[in-house]
Chains A and B, each alone.
Chain A
């Protein structure tokens, strides 16, 4: 165990941890983005997606994933903070004529983009996960028109044991959240910084674990740039579409017809159980 601790204490060991936790988070943002983009498929799709995430898997599994992600973020930040402090100590005085030869802006501002991203993550979790931001407590009645909506599949409400399955109205929560201009602005800026962070990070993590050479550096740098932009556009598209009026609230939860026939609903319930 002592040998392992020595590894983790070395500069390279902490950087390997940063790269591996970075890889987890790089994968997560892509999954999260693809999941969120379902809002363009309508209220029924995004609500069903949220329903699946929260209700289909046991809550212990959801919490296991959440804790894994939080631990990754914590380790990533711990490594970044301790390494930054070591780096500051190694260079107590700078140059009078400070010049950058070739390093990219994003590579030199990883700490800045990282700190702002952390602030964003805290706000984002308070905003849409815990829903505790004052004035945006979406679970309280009246904040959004319909807090609970039927779970909809192919335009019809899903029934379980003859009763309509209700789910949280994620669609209206997102749209109501992004209709506040400063919230949208913060989300767009934060995802822009995420793009910058990824532009350096996605290529850098390969270097840290030793899987890069001059040829692959060029390729990975391009891949990282593309990845950063895809993630940025994918995330930023949603608040922009809301402010542009392309995405609208749907208090019905995506129901095509307001009312259901009992016979139809019974068949639906049957299909659902199968």
Chain B
């Protein structure tokens, strides 16, 4: 027999970026344990539309855990209680009948709420713009085996590249620090030969943009890693610290003209 449940939802409602938000409580019934959290939100929205009310706005796109668009904080944890799971991949079987679920937007100054559960995460785009690229010759593609990369390095870069830029690290951090995101991007490119040439410039530029966007500092408590739907490791933050400090020292002692 299929498991169904009745739930009480405490949802953050905010009509626009400048409006004052508040919580509203809704009831949803006969939710299948097999539906995803976003499907449950869709059911809620349908109920609201039928009742002539405004549906709950939330971000979503691929619904298969790779785009990084879904973003809500469920019972105080970004992407909900399951480890290494995005909200869209979170299934209702992890909740129980009669439970009250608090649903809030990601909270951070650099992530202003646009509407209800949607936040503006373009601060991440600006961090990427400042250094999340390699300067390569455009033209015919380079042979895949032209640059040999050790397996260990490739694996490490791949682990870093798993970051989908959803912002859960910022949302989970009590300081709203973007160190895990920036660390993952810097580690990804700085560890590969294609990105090595701009290693120091990249670390300096991305950290400067990160600080300028108003993200807080890291206190090494590890909540970001625990909340990350892609299990990005704190090692990436250590590498960011290392690369940034090295870049600053190099910068300081560069030959004067």
A residues contacting B by CB (< 8 A) are 3-4, 6-7, 10-16, 83, 86-104, 107-108, 110, 200, 203-204, 207-214, 217
* Given A204-B219, A210-B239: 13 more A-B contacts, CB < 8 Å: A7-B252, A10-B207, A16-B241, A86-B217, A93-B107, A95-B76, A97-B73, A99-B75, A103-B221, A207-B220, A207-B238, A210-B243, A212-B234
Within 8 A of A (CB), among B220-254: 220-223, 226-227, 233-235, 237-245, 248, 251-252
In the complex, the answer to whether A102 meets B222 with C-beta atoms within 8 Å is yes
Query: If the complex has contacts A99-B77, A209-B241, A211-B242, are A11 and B109 also in contact, measured as CB distance less than 8 A?
Result: no
Q: Which residues of A contact B226 (CB under 8 A)?
A: 101-103
CB distance from A198 to the nearest CB of B (A): 14
A209 contacts B207, CB within 8 Å? Answer: no
Instruction: Give every chain B residue within 8 A of A88 (Cβ-Cβ).
Output: 216
| Cβ distance B108 to chain A, nearest Cβ, rounded Å | 6
Whether, in the assembled complex, B214 has its beta carbon less than 8 Å from a beta carbon of chain A, the answer is yes
**Which of B169-217 touch A at CB < 8 Å?**
172-177, 207-208, 210-211, 214-217
From A97, A110, A212, A213, B219 is in contact (CB under 8 Å) with A110
In the assembly, what is the distance between CA of A194 and CA of B247, in Å? Answer: 33
A-B contacts, 13 listed (Cβ < 8 Å): A4-B248, A7-B252, A10-B207, A11-B210, A90-B109, A92-B109, A94-B107, A97-B73, A110-B219, A200-B220, A207-B238, A209-B241, A211-B242
Interface string of B47-84 (1 = CB under 8 A from A): 00000000000000000000000000101110000000
- The residue of chain A having its C-beta at the shortest distance from the C-beta of B103 within the complex is A97
With the chains together, A97 CA to B80 CA distance in Å? 12
List chain A residues, Cβ under 8 A from B12.
96
* Nearest B-chain residue to A101, judged by Cβ: B226
Q: How far is the CA of A208 from the CA of B252 in the complex (A)?
A: 20
Our pick among A12, A91, A110 for the contact of B244 (Cβ within 8 Å) is: A12
Nearest CB to that of B242 among chain A residues? A210
- Find out whether the CB atom of B239 lies under 8 angstroms from the CB atom of A108: no
Contact A102–B223 (Cβ < 8 Å): yes
In contact, B109 and A108 (Cβ under 8 angstroms) = no
Residues of B near any A CB (own CB < 8 A) = 10, 12, 23, 73, 75-77, 102, 104, 107-110, 172-177, 207-208, 210-211, 214-223, 226-227, 233-235, 237-245, 248, 251-252
Q: How far is the CA of A203 from the CA of B76 in the complex (A)?
A: 27
Tell me what chain B mostly uses at the interface: helix, strand, loop, or mixed: mixed
Docked CA distance A16–B246 (Å): 12
Question: Which one of A110, A208, A209 has the highest number of Cβ atoms from chain B below 10 Å of its Cβ?
Answer: A208
Q: How far is the CB of B39 from chain A (nearest CB, A)?
A: 22
Asked whether B239 lies within 8 Å of A97 as measured between CB atoms, the reply is no
Pair A95/B73 contact, Cβ less than 8 Å: yes
**Chain B: which residue is nearest A89 at the CB level?**
B109
Distance in angstroms from B221 CB to nearest chain A CB is 4
The 10 A-B residue pairs with the shortest CB-CB distance, nearest first, are A210-B242, A99-B76, A90-B216, A87-B175, A11-B217, A87-B216, A97-B76, A90-B176, A103-B221, A97-B102
A11 touches B218 (CB 8 A): yes
Nearest Cβ on chain B to A36's Cβ, whole angstroms? 30
A210 touches B104 (CB 8 A): no
In the assembled complex, the CB of A210 is this many whole angstroms from the nearest CB of chain B, namely 3
In whole angstroms, what is the CA distance A154 to B98 when docked?
Answer: 77
In the docked arrangement, what's the CA distance between A12 and B182, Å?
Answer: 12
Q: How far is the CA of A90 from the CA of B108 in the complex (A)?
A: 6
Q: Is the CB of A207 within 8 A of B223?
A: no
Report yes or no: B233 in contact with A214, Cβ–Cβ below 8 A. yes
Cα(A108)–Cα(B222), bound, Å: 10
Known: A87-B174, A95-B104, A97-B102. A208 touches B241 (CB 8 A): yes
Across-interface contacts of A4 in B (CB, < 8 A): 248, 252
- A103 contacts which of B107, B223, B238, B251 (Cβ < 8 Å)? B223
* Bound CA–CA A80/B172 (angstroms): 21
Chain B residues in 8 Å Cβ range of A95: 73, 76, 104, 107
